[in-house]
Amino acid sequence: MPGQGLYRQFCRDIPDLPVFAQPWYLDAVCESGAWGAAVVQHGGQPAAALPYFLKRKGPFRYITMPHFCKHLGPYLHPDFRELKFEHKFYGQLIGLLPAVLAFKQEFHPSATNWLPFCWQGYRQTTRYTYQLDLSSGLNAVYNGFNRNVRRNLKKAEKALHIRMDMPAEDFFRINRLSFERQGAAPPYSRELFLRHDDALARHQSRQIFCAEDAGGRIHSAAYLIWDGRASYYHLSGDDPELRASGAGLLLVWEAIRYTHEVLQLPVFDFEGSMMPNVEAIRRQFGGRQVPYFRVWKYHSKVFRMLDG
């Protein structure tokens, strides 16, 4: 695909590149399509890049988000992180995108300027994730929890213990139970999940947690991933018959502690969500609302009608 070589070169110089935009991650998650990148060079070096996932639906070719990829969007080399370069390079990146019938991406929260896209007819919707700042320590984070969260955590800590040796296959099975409870199939296959897990494990960028009772029953499991700046509460699953135990809350707390104590990262990201019931839980943990952009443009009225 166009731009992959230059993009891999660009990524080597970006210490804060999100895990979702890493070339090895895109290699793993871009199923039923292929990824490429628009790359702008300045002074003989890659200065800005916009990775994308190119997919087909019948005869239609479009850019969208791959599974397991929360954010993409434009990224700048640290030497060029000024508004004047954003305006200049983002416009050039748009011009380097392949001819497609639609573009749909969710930008990383660090991409706070979408004006060059607006000027070229793109549209955006503001979405939110929730983050915890861990720089003040775990006591400050714990004190920011809702009273009900703290009470249920204490209850769960007495009844459950945490394991960190759950195989990926077992995690997929309990993750699938959450979808089955809602009468839905998982949006991704076992094979895709395991390929994505293998890439993360090889790059030492994931940890699986599970909460187990004295009888050996797994109540809930969580899948944490990370990059150089933040960890992400990426996936989870629970046994529908054991949801009242508070295991899910306990796993969030364990993932926060792991992020601070083991990974020593300053940010814990809940990876959304915009769903009212999920959003309420994120706020109960004291999560700070952080906006990011969903940016899109349709180049075909026919495809827009079919895609809707």
Which of 57, 50, 94 is closest to 75 using CA atoms? 50
| Residues 40-49 pLDDT 10s | 999 889 999 9
SS3 label, residue 100: coil
3-state secondary structure 42-100: ECCEEEEEEEEEEEEECCEEEEECCCCCCCECCEECHHHCCHHHHHHHHHHHHHHCCCC
Query: What is the predicted pLDDT for the residue at 84?
Result: 95
pLDDT grade, residue 183 (50/70/90)? confident
Among 11-25, 73-87, 179-193, name the one with the lowest average pLDDT. 179-193
Residue 34 CA: distances (Å) to CA of 13, 31, 65, 66, 263: 23, 7, 11, 9, 32
User: Which residues is 124 bridged to in the sheet?
Assistant: 295
| Residues 279-288 pLDDT 10s | 777 888 888 9
SS3 label, residue 57: strand
| Residues 139-160 pLDDT 10s | 999 999 999 999 999 999 999 9
Quote the percentage of the chain above a pLDDT of 90.
80
Query: What is the predicted pLDDT for the residue at 58?
Result: 83
pLDDT grade, residue 129 (50/70/90)? very high
Query: What is the predicted pLDDT for the residue at 181?
Result: 80
Kindly report each contact of residues 181-186 with a partner whose C-beta sits within 8 Å and lies 24 or more positions away, as own/partner: 181/240
Q: What is the pTM of this model?
A: 0.94
* Average pLDDT rounded to a whole number, residues 110-121: 96
pLDDT grade, residue 240 (50/70/90)? confident
Structure tokens at 103: 């573009």
User: Which residues is 128 bridged to in the sheet?
Assistant: 291
* Average pLDDT rounded to a whole number, residues 256-274: 93
Q: Spell out the domains of the chain, with CATH numbers in brackets.
A: 4-126+292-307 (3.40.630.30), 135-265 (3.40.630.30)
Query: What is the predicted pLDDT for the residue at 156?
Result: 92
